[in-house]
């Protein structure tokens, strides 16, 4: 609690900082899907009145991260298999397209840096997930299409929430690293854009299969108590 208060003290925009912190916590499932947020506890945690917290909650509701239920509370929507299917359907169709558009603008130096970082052992799921997202968003951001970039950034926020919520283990992280390195090697060689796009599509399909398998497992239901639709 003290850490959040001190981090807010020097902020130019208190409301913006609370919004960004809450959004990040929701994306990384520090507040679990299917549970409720307590407004009074949030005010106490941030050391503020209800107004900036309510304004942050209002913005997050418009973006689909929370649902305000009159006279009941603030619900964090649960994750459903349908939403997971839609996330990966969009990624499979759109991400290879953005990669093809991005290839002429990619920095080999940056690609090599990602490759080096991916080769380092990482046992922290959240850090591994953040590096995963950083690499994908770098490739997307180079496509030079602002509409695609904006859409894919929102999609990757939801995608990160899925990865964290499913608690993917170290084997899955290792497999994803190998697939990422294969994509990077293909891009670094700059020989076959279609091969790079195909590797990206295969990687996303593998991620979809792993996520759906875990979402359908008894292990996930017991661990989270989230009712899947």
d(CA 180, CA 153): 19
Beta strands at 73-75 and 67-69: parallel, antiparallel or unpaired = antiparallel
Secondary structure letter of residue 59 according to DSSP: H
Give SS3 for 99: helix
Q: What is the pTM of this model?
A: 0.79
Q: Of the given ranges (77-81, 135-139, 195-199), which has the lowest mean pLDDT? A: 77-81
pLDDT at 174: 56
Please state the rounded mean pLDDT for residues 135-162. 94
Burial of 168 (C-beta count, 10 Å sphere; 0-12/13-18/19+): buried
Residue 204 pLDDT level (bands cut at 50, 70, 90): very high
pLDDT at 171: 46
Please state the rounded mean pLDDT for residues 75-81. 86
CATH topology agreement for domains 2-75 and 81-224? no
> Given 3.20.20.120, 3.40.980.10, 1.10.10.10, 3.40.1080.10, which CATH number is that of 2-75?
1.10.10.10
d(CA 60, CA 68): 10
How is the chain split into domains, by residue range?
2-75, 81-224
pLDDT at 44: 92
Residue 12 pLDDT > 70, yes or no?
Answer: no
Q: Which is higher by pLDDT, 146 or 127?
A: 146
pLDDT at 163: 76
Do 200 and 183 contact (CB within 8 A), yes or no? yes
pLDDT at 226: 42
Please state the rounded mean pLDDT for residues 154-173. 73
Averaged pLDDT score across all residues of the chain: 85
d(CA 207, CA 212): 9
d(CA 98, CA 110): 17
| 3-state SS, one letter per residue, for the chain | CHHHHHHHHCCCCHHHHHHHHHHHHHHCCCCCCCCEECHHHHHHHHCCCHHHHHHHHHHHHHCCCCEEECCCEEECCCCCHHHHHHHHHHHHHHHHHHHHHHHHHCCHHHHHHHHHHHHCCCCCHHHHHHHHHHHHHHHHHCCCCHHHHHHHHHHHHHHHHHHHHCCCCHHHHHHHHHHHHHHHHHHHHCCCHHHHHHHHHHHHHHHHHHHHHHHCCHHHHHHHCCCCC
pLDDT at 32: 84
pLDDT (tens digit per residue) in 28-61: 888 888 889 999 999 999 899 999 999 999 999 9
Do 83 and 158 contact (CB within 8 A), yes or no? yes
pLDDT at 225: 47
% residues pLDDT > 90 (the chain): 54
Please state the rounded mean pLDDT for residues 7-23. 76
Which class in CATH covers the domain with range 81-224?
mainly alpha
pLDDT at 4: 57
Q: Which is higher by pLDDT, 138 or 168?
A: 138
């Amino acid at each position: 609690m003290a850490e959040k208060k001190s981090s807010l003290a020097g902020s130019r925009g208190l409301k913006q900082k609370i919004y960004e912190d809450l959004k990040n916590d929701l994306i990384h499932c520090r507040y679990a899907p299917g549970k409720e947020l307590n407004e009074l506890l949030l005010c106490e945690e941030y050391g503020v009145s209800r107004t900036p917290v309510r304004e942050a909650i209002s913005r997050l509701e418009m973006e689909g991260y929370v649902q305000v239920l009159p006279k009941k509370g603030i619900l964090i929507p649960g994750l459903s298999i349908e939403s997971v299917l839609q996330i990966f359907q969009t990624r499979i169709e759109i991400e290879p397209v953005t990669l093809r558009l991005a290839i002429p603008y990619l920095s080999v130096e940056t690609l090599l840096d990602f490759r080096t970082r991916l080769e380092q052992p990482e046992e922290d799921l959240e850090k591994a997930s953040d590096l995963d997202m950083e690499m994908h968003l770098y490739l997307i951001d180079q496509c030079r299409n602002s509409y695609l970039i904006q859409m894919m950034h929102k999609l990757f926020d939801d995608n990160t929430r899925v990865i964290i919520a499913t608690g993917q283990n170290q084997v899955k992280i290792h497999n994803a690293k190998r697939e990422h390195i294969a994509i990077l090697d293909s891009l670094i060689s700059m020989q076959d854009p279609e091969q790079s796009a195909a590797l990206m599509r295969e990687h996303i399909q593998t991620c979809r299969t792993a996520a759906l398998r875990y979402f359908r497992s008894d292990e996930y239901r017991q661990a989270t108590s989230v009712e899947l639709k």
